[in-house]
């Protein structure tokens, strides 16, 4: 779906076809829903206003789609978004342009900077749960172990259809200390342990979600009572007065990245866009729309809605994108096989 086609048509009527033909543009793909709405309002709309560059928006930039574009020299997206694990898998496959020297990441946290991705926000995977099933005053889930405890916390679950952060949550639920999770996953027995832990929950998983809006919708409708998902999506549901709450006692933090696809047809415009989103002013706007932490410091009042408070950072495990770069292909294959009953 191209989100910006109406705006482009309106611009065409205003400018005239000949002027529009000369206008700069680029193509952007992200994951829809509240997340993409926030990107549009915080970054795309003001970027287009300031630069005159039209941004056509699409959704669902899965690595398989990007790889098919690159392999066939038919790239139609310039900028795409993903978490760090997916970024590094794409880098390993040669799917993204190197940004070193082209994009100024100096305002971002040093640990988030990357040669192939412009860090855009910090978000967390954690438990979202139904406050109708687990009301305030009663027993509510707090940890990943609680997510796996179907006796104490009954009801169907929703879980991502890819293993990013799920394998980590599974080992934490199985009693592995946070500082031992990746060393455990790096062994054949440890990876199998994580896969088996997820497999044990399969009878209680109603939805293997592919889109961040799905677990929110599932909780709101009552089709599941607990879900693993992204804090910004759950917060958007809470802001809409849906019967949802989040458990912050354990979480897995990820850095979001914006990447330029290898062979992007509008690379110069894409570079301008990435430099724009990295500015402190632009970074400060995003959390007005989605409860994800910026790459720079932010005022305390707004920080309380975000995953980056000091208290929450103490209880979070940061995703190791180097591990996912090395082991992601195998982890995805094993996880998909488990979902499909192999």
pLDDT (0 to 100) of residue 341: 86
Q: What share of the chain is helix, strand, coil (3-state, %, to 5)?
A: 45, 20, 35
**Contact indicator for 119, 225 with CB cutoff of 8 Å:** no
CA distances for 77 relative to 6, 17, 27, 289, angstroms:
19, 23, 5, 24
Q: Please state, in angstroms and rounded to a whole number, the distance separating the CA atoms of residues 311 and 125.
A: 16
Task: Select from 92, 112, 114 the least CA-distant residue to 103.
Answer: 114
Token pair 């680029």 in the structure block, residue: 26
5-122+255-308 and 125-254+311-339, same CATH topology: yes
The CATH architecture assigned to 5-122+255-308 reads 3-Layer(aba) Sandwich (3.40)
Confidence of residue 302 (pLDDT cuts 50, 70, 90): low
Task: Select from 16, 224, 269, 194 the least CA-distant residue to 128.
Answer: 224
| Token code pair at residue 202 | 């399969």
DSSP helix/strand/coil, 193: helix
Token pair 């790239």 in the structure block, residue: 75
pLDDT (0 to 100) of residue 296: 60
Is pLDDT at 342 greater than 90 in this prediction? no
DSSP helix/strand/coil, 310: helix
The CATH H-level (homologous superfamily) assignment of domain 125-254+311-339 is: Periplasmic binding protein-like II (3.40.190.10)
CA distances for 160 relative to 166, 185, 198, 326, 327, angstroms:
7, 18, 11, 21, 18
Task: List pLDDT tens digits, range 117-160.
Answer: 999 988 899 999 999 999 999 999 999 999 999 999 999 999 99
Which sequence spans correspond to the domains of the chain?
5-122+255-308, 125-254+311-339
**Contact indicator for 146, 152 with CB cutoff of 8 Å:** yes
Which of 79-93, 207-221, 234-248, 304-318 shows the lowest mean pLDDT across its residues? Answer: 304-318
Q: Please state, in angstroms and rounded to a whole number, the distance separating the CA atoms of residues 169 and 183.
A: 14
pLDDT (0 to 100) of residue 16: 47
Give the residue, 10 or 203, on which the prediction is more confident: 203
Which of 3-17, 208-222, 266-280 shows the lowest mean pLDDT across its residues? Answer: 3-17
Q: What is the 3-state secondary structure (H, E, C) of 39-91?
A: HHHHHHHHHHHHHCCEEEEEECCCHHHHHHHHHCCCCCCCEEEEEHHHHHHHH
């Amino acid at each position: 779906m191209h989100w910006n086609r109406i705006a482009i048509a309106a611009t065409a009527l205003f400018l005239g076809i000949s002027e529009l033909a000369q206008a700069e543009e680029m193509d952007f793909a992200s994951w829809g829903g509240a997340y993409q709405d926030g990107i549009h309002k915080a970054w795309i709309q003001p970027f287009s206003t300031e630069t005159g560059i039209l941004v056509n928006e699409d959704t669902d930039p899965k690595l398989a789609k990007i790889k098919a574009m690159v392999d066939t020299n038919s790239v139609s997206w310039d900028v795409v978004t993903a978490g760090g694990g997916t970024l590094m898998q794409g880098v390993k496959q040669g799917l993204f342009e190197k940004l070193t020297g082209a994009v100024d990441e100096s305002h971002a946290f040093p640990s988030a900077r990357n040669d192939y991705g412009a860090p855009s926000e910090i978000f967390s995977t954690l438990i979202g749960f139904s406050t109708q099933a687990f009301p305030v005053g009663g027993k509510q889930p707090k940890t990943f172990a609680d997510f796996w405890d179907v006796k104490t916390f009954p009801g169907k679950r929703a879980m991502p259809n890819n293993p990013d952060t799920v394998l980590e949550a599974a080992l934490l639920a199985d009693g592995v200390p946070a500082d031992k999770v990746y060393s455990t996953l790096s062994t054949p027995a440890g990876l199998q342990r994580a896969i088996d832990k997820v497999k044990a929950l399969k009878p209680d998983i109603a939805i293997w979600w592919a889109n961040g809006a799905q677990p929110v919708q599932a909780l709101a409708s009552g089709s599941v009572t607990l879900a693993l998902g992204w804090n910004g999506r759950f917060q958007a549901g809470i802001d809409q007065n849906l019967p949802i709450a989040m458990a912050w006692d354990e979480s897995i933090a990820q850095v979001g990245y914006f990447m330029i696809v290898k062979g992007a047809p509008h690379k110069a415009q894409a570079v301008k866009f990435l430099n724009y989103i990295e500015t402190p002013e632009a970074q400060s706007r995003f959390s007005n729309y989605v409860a994800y932490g910026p790459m720079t410091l932010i005022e305390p009042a707004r920080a309380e809605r975000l995953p980056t408070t000091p208290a929450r950072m103490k209880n979070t495990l940061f995703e190791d994108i180097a591990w996912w770069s090395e082991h992601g292909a195998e982890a995805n294959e094993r996880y998909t096989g488990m979902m499909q009953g192999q």
